[in-house]
Amino acid sequence: MTDGLTVITLTLLVNYLTRKIPAFQAIILGTVITSASWLILAFKPTVWGAVLSLFVLALGEIIQSPRYYEYISRLAPPGQQGTYMGFAFLPIGIGSLIGGWFGGTLAHHFVEVTHRPERMWWTVTAVGVATAGLLWIYDRSMRPVTTASIN
């Protein structure tokens, strides 16, 4: 309930506060925040640690998600926004295919083999931070060349 309640109550405020951040930078920021949220469980593996972790995760989601769809819609040529928006769900689909296996593998290793479940969250965070890093590299390498940057 923490994630949904946070999203419902804070979306307008967080979107207002982050409105001046460019869309792709907001996507990266939201990814970093959601990734870092799992470290709360690594340091505080309690019920309240889980609640706080989900609260921070929701804040990252609020920052990232609307701006992701804004970015995708701006990439689309006129008249093809619907097709591009459909493809915006591709990473979610890939994550659904990989996530169960990956989470199960992590849980098996860190819970059953090493008996250190709190360490699992470091790996989850590392995947998110690596994703944010790759997004940052993409943003830097795929920027359009303008006449001002040629001179």
SS3 category, 45:
coil
How confident is the prediction for the chain on average, in pLDDT? Answer: 91
For 35-82, the pLDDT digits (tens) are 999 999 999 999 999 999 999 999 999 999 999 988 888 888 888 888
With contact defined as beta carbons under 8 Å apart, do 44 and 121 qualify?
no
Share of the chain above pLDDT 90, in %: 76
Q: What is the dihedral of CA 123, 15, 19, 133, to 10 degrees?
A: 10
pLDDT value at position 146?
Answer: 53
Written as six digits, the tokens of 12 are: 């307008």
Whole-model pTM: value is 0.87
Distances (CA, A) of 84 to 19, 34, 69, 116, 132: 23, 24, 9, 42, 22
Q: Binning pLDDT at 50, 70 and 90, where does residue 144 land?
A: low
Place of tokens 């590299």: 137
C-alpha 48/C-alpha 125 separation (Å) is: 19
